[in-house]
Amino acid sequence: MTTASYSINKEKLEKAAFILKTVAHPTRLAIVDLLSLNEKLSVNEICERLSCEQSLLSHHLINMKLKGILRSEKDGLNVFYSLKLREVVKLIECIEHCDCNM
C-alpha cells in the first residue's frame, strides 16, 4: 500500500482516541452500557446495578461528564445521568461483538 492511496481522517482518529481514553475502565464501560439501555439513571440506580461504591462511581461519572460523554440533571436530591455522546455506544457494540482471544 502506497502512502498516496492511504488517506486517514485525523479528526476522526483523534475523536476515537479521546473516547477510548475516557471510557478505558471496566466501570466506565459498564456505565455507558447501562445508559445505552436506559434514557437516564440516577447515581443510586447506577450504583445498585453495578454493585459499586458510590464515591468511586461518582468519580467516574464526573470525569465522563467533564469530557462530554455524559450529561447530568439534578432533580431534588437526585442527580440523573444520560449519554450525551451517543457515538460511544458504537464502541460498546464493537467490544461486545469482538471475537478476540485474550
Q: pLDDT digit of tens for each residue in the chain (102 aa)?
A: 455 566 778 888 888 888 889 999 999 999 999 999 999 999 999 999 999 999 999 999 999 999 999 999 999 999 999 999 988 888 778 777 877 665
Query: Are 50 and 34 spatial neighbours (Cβ–Cβ below 8 Å)?
Result: yes
If we measure between CA atoms, which residue out of 27, 32, 43 comes closest to residue 68? 32
pTM score, whole prediction:
0.82
CA pair distance 99, 91, nearest whole angstrom: 14
What domains does the chain contain, in order, with CATH numbers? 12-93 (1.10.10.10)
**58 vs 73, 93, 100, CA distance in Å?**
14, 24, 31
